[in-house]
A and B are shown apart, each in its own frame.
Chain A
Amino acid sequence: MSARHLSVRRGRARPATAMVIGLVAALALATGCSSDDGGGEQTSGPVTIKVWAWYPAFQPVVDLFNATHDDIKIEWTNAGAGQDQYTKLQTALKAGKGAPDVAMLEFQEMPTFQITKHLVDMGKYGANEIKGNYADWAWKQVSVGDAVYSIPVDAGPMAMLYRQDVFDKFGLTVPKTWDEYKQQAVKLKAASPTSFISDFGANDGGFMTGIMWQTGSRPYDYSSGSTDIGVKVNNAEAKQTMTYWEDMVDSGLADTVAYGTTDFYNGLASGKYATYLAAGWGPGYLQSVAKTTAGKWRAAPLPQWVAGEDRQGDWGGSSFAVTDQTEHPEEATKVAMEIFGSNKDAWKIGIDQAYLFPTAKPILEWDYFLNKEYEFFGGQKVNEIFVPAYNGVGEYDWPPFNSYSFNQLTTAINQAVTKKTSWTAALDTVQQNVSTYAKQQGFTVTQ
């Protein structure tokens, strides 16, 4: 045998026992110390606040905060996006350790986390002082009476982004109502059979909820802390919305490619989809996935059901909450309130680099934001569209089991789309399943 083998052998033969001992020692070590036993108490010097968030371009915002605060230092980790982070957070909260001081939570997840009773009531630490900085509906997403469970950061008011070049090419006009939207869709299809007025992402619970929200659907009636829940997923407005889109899909006017896939990006980039019904963070999203179409997009308000109405919907939006594992609730609250807050320097980064849509009134009314011209949109002041949309969003309740709820919705509608069955029947199925689930979880369900 070659020398190579000998050395391999010698490296291993002797430590056979050593291995055993090493293993036992390792086991002892492992039970002895856990992975993030944070540093010792800090009796002096800045307080370290751990933050979990997945905002794009967040590092400069963190740096800014740390540079301007002597008493607090933020330690930021991207613990995953969306459900990935929520899962980790749930686990850590349940285990009693491993959770950060401050965590990013989308609005739809708030009741889910509030019911764990592991969120700190920031109202005790002065959060209500900034209540006036936020629209009512946004503040209600994060609070129950005077108890404040998180501070809103960004929102996703919906608007219609459209390809000016495609509209020009086929002589389309910007629709103001959903009827007009369909008419333009028909016109487009006739002129270009491979085009669609838009894609319909049945895999995105937030998207579908947002457009139903606009119609006026309110599937849940729930207030954190209550053991009662009203479930009416298949309400009239929801059915109205779904019937409309079922028709659009069946008539070949809307595509059914899943959002977030390369095929979807391809469709946006190639002009296959003439419009994209987007949230306030949509412009930034487009810029990253459809770079080659810079300058070709414009923004317009969402079509209305009845001409002249002002109904709006929201898709996404996030906030910062403080967990009960923090040893410094005051400082953590301060971080949650101020890291974005109404800070113009932080928001400049948020607006320019992360394309976040702010919820704080001082920023919404800030000239820099309101009058910002977006090259990607041919110089249009896109926020002039999104701000009124934000202001028109109404209140909305989420259930304390939103993952389950979104999951039921997307599964049911997806099935209806692919099997070509009734979408309203799908809503009925969701209603049934969710009610059963809520009852199993111990709630008193009103349908």
Chain B
Amino acid sequence: MTTLTAAGAGTGTDTPRTDTWRAPARPGAGRISSYAVMAVMAVYFLLPFWWLLVAATKDNDGLFGSAPLWFAGENHFFDNLKVLFTHENGVYLKWMRNSALYSVVSGVGATAISALAGYAFAKLRFPGRNALFAALLGLIMVPATALVLPTYLMMSQVGLVDSIWAVILPSLLSPFGVYLLRVYVHDSVPDEMLEAARIDGAGELRVFRSVALPAMRPALVTVLLFTMVATWNNFFLPLVMLSDNELFPLTVGLRTWYMSATLGNAGPALFNVIVVGALVAILPLIVAFLLLQRYWRGGLTIGSLK
């Protein structure tokens, strides 16, 4: 099950509505203090990234020796990168591949499954629908992490642990995605549209595919994005399910290196590799977020907006 996300169905655009309301013309203290507070908070949020960037240019001794927030004498960034990609037979690249694999497959899969279910709850009448939906609402509240250990124990009985399916299959379950899509479909897909298609002779599947899905697009993209992010960032589930370190995603892999670095007899404590590994690991998501701002920026509403 993907960790709970409060992704929203939205219109995908950001309308600050400056046409109906303008910020007060006061030159005032109000605006300045707002800016000041925001600036302080921005520093707070960005400080660790600055540290990471600076630290990635240092070698192991530099990390312990030099001032943390500024660069040391030499720039070891490219050396660190080289070690990162070759350490332990290039296992880091495998970890990247795994993270990508899990998040794409889980994201697409969860979105597809949630779309089908969400649409069905919203627009199709079938016996047991309300009961099932009520159960769904209740089950959203069951904490995902409390389930990880029992899922693991259960799956190890069936011999499914330590494979990519051990991570992907549970991540396909997204009750919140279903809830969201249901709300969105209910609000944004008019019955008349569907009826019209039915009257024209389209089968249910066709109605879904050609009429409903296009209308659901913004919500689908949002659910996709958030499930992908949730899976990319997931730690507890792969930690518990996987023993073969070639199957680890980046989160578990980096933590394994960190634990080795703090253990005494596991060889050199390569903190610099961990640091640069962390930097490389977060870049894809940050870049994706910057490029895909329109989707999460405007669209984060929840059923509360009904």
Contacts and interface: CB of A to CB of B under 8 A. Distances in A.
A83 B295 CA distance: 43
Interface in B165-193: 165, 169, 172
B9 to A, nearest CB: 16
B63 interface: yes
A31 B263 CA distance: 37
B246 to A, nearest CB: 8
Contacts of A5: 217
A30 B160 contact: yes
A23 B243 contact: no
Interface in A15-58: 15-17, 19-20, 23, 26-27, 30-31, 34-36, 54-57
Nearest to A316: B265
B165 A26 contact: yes
Contacts of B245: 77-80
A13 interface: yes
A8 interface: yes
Interface in B49-76: 60-61, 63-65
A167 B244 CA distance: 47
A64 interface: no
A261 B150 CA distance: 33
A84 B259 contact: yes
Given A78-B245, A260-B264, A13 B209 contact: yes
B256 interface: yes
Nearest to A55: B267
Given A9-B214, A261-B262, A16 B268 contact: no
A281 interface: yes
A436 interface: no
Interface in B15-48: none
What band does the interface of chain A fall in when counting residues whose beta carbon is under 8 Å from B? 35 or more
B244 A36 contact: yes
Given A12-B108, A15-B112, A98 B265 contact: no
Contacts of B268: 56, 288-289
Nearest to A260: B262
Contact of A54 (B158, B161, B169, B260): B260
B243 A92 contact: yes
A81 B209 contact: no
A316 B265 CA distance: 8
A9 B220 CA distance: 9
Contacts of A9: 213-214, 217
Chain B CB within 10 A, most for which of A12, A35, A56, A291: A35
B229 interface: no
A13 B108 CA distance: 11
Contact of A82 (B161, B172, B213, B266): B266
B109 A16 contact: no
B194 interface: no
B293 interface: no
A72 interface: no
A16 B265 contact: no
A37 to B, nearest CB: 10
Chain A CB within 10 A, most for which of B221, B260, B265, B267: B265
A87 B256 CA distance: 13
A417 interface: no
A78 B91 CA distance: 11
A278 to B, nearest CB: 9
B116 interface: yes
A269 interface: yes
A269 B217 contact: no
B260 A35 contact: no
Contacts of B159: 34, 95, 97
A56 B63 CA distance: 22
A284 B116 CA distance: 58
A260 B263 contact: yes
Given A20-B116, A36-B244, A285 B264 contact: yes
Interface in B246-302: 247, 256, 259-269, 271
A266 B266 contact: no
A8 B271 CA distance: 40
Contacts of B259: 80-82, 84
A262 interface: yes
B156 interface: yes
Contact of A262 (B64, B109, B263): B64
A35 B61 contact: no
B10 to A, nearest CB: 15
Contacts of A291: 60-61
A5 B218 CA distance: 9
A288 B269 CA distance: 7
Contacts of A289: 60, 268-269
B150 to A, nearest CB: 15
A12 B165 CA distance: 21
A395 to B, nearest CB: 22
A319 to B, nearest CB: 13
A156 interface: yes
B205 interface: yes
B231 to A, nearest CB: 16
B163 A34 contact: yes
A259 B263 CA distance: 8
Nearest to A88: B243
Nearest to A80: B256
B200 interface: no
Contacts of A94: 156
B252 to A, nearest CB: 10
Interface in A275-334: 279, 281, 284-285, 288-289, 291-292, 316, 318
Interface string A208-241: 0000000000000000000000000000000000
B64 A266 contact: yes
A16 B213 contact: yes
Chain B CB within 10 A, most for which of A5, A12, A354: A12
A81 B260 contact: yes
A26 B105 CA distance: 12
A316 B65 contact: no
Given A13-B209, A34-B163, A81-B266, A95 B271 contact: no
B219 interface: no
A265 interface: yes
A191 to B, nearest CB: 24
7 contacts: A36-B162, A79-B245, A80-B243, A260-B264, A260-B269, A265-B269, A269-B65
Given A27-B169, A265-B269, A289-B269, 15 more contacts: A8-B221, A12-B112, A13-B210, A19-B112, A36-B162, A55-B267, A81-B256, A82-B259, A84-B256, A84-B259, A260-B264, A261-B262, A269-B65, A291-B60, A318-B265
9 residue pairs, one from A and one from B, having the closest CB atoms: A56-B267, A288-B268, A260-B262, A88-B243, A35-B163, A81-B266, A19-B112, A30-B165, A81-B260
